[in-house]
Amino acid sequence: MLDQTVWRERPDSPEDPQGIGVFLQFGTAEADVSELTRHAGGGASWTGALPGRDRDVIGLGATRVRFTDQPAAGFEKSSELAVEAFYKLQITPWLSITPDWQYIRSLGGVGGQKNALVGTVRVAVDVGRVANWSRRAAAKIFP
């Protein structure tokens, strides 16, 4: 696994998250113990790509898995490819909404199965930050 920031908007400011990161990953397993014998993936993300949205993140990635050729596994195709794009909208320091789109080719390695386009929306709440925010808000209201 390689995960590296390759560019920062303000390299002299460790508090500033804006920049571009890339990742690569590779894995392998024996065909007699795993249905997936190889995996390779990679992608990039850009934090602060849009003006005024310094903590939003846009990303693109791809992953390919190779299926075992063991007849009992039942795979009719040798591999599956997934391509993913997302945009994480940081609403507050403790709330984010992330629409995500994936296109999957050779879905599950099963012949006759159509390719798939999948969309999801993830809502994330950082409970620790909510608790800190509510304590500060309460302290201002009830000094």
Domain residues for the domain of 99 are: 2-141
Q: Select the more confidently predicted residue: 122 or 113.
A: 122
Residue entry with tokens 């009830």: 142
Q: How confident is the model at residue 128 (pLDDT cuts 50, 70, 90)?
A: confident
Q: 139: Cβ–Cβ under 8 A, 6 or more apart, which residues?
A: none
Tally of domains within the chain:
1
**What pLDDT, in 10s, does the model give residues 20-32?**
999 999 999 998 8
| Predicted structure pTM score | 0.83
pLDDT at 131 over 90: no
Whether residue 90 has pLDDT greater than 90: yes
DSSP 92-136: ETTEEEEEEEEEEESGGG-TTPPPEEEEEEEEEE-HHHHHHHHHH
Q: Could you tell me the CATH number of the domain that includes residue 86?
A: 2.40.160.180
Question: Given a cut of 90, is residue 138 above it in pLDDT?
Answer: no
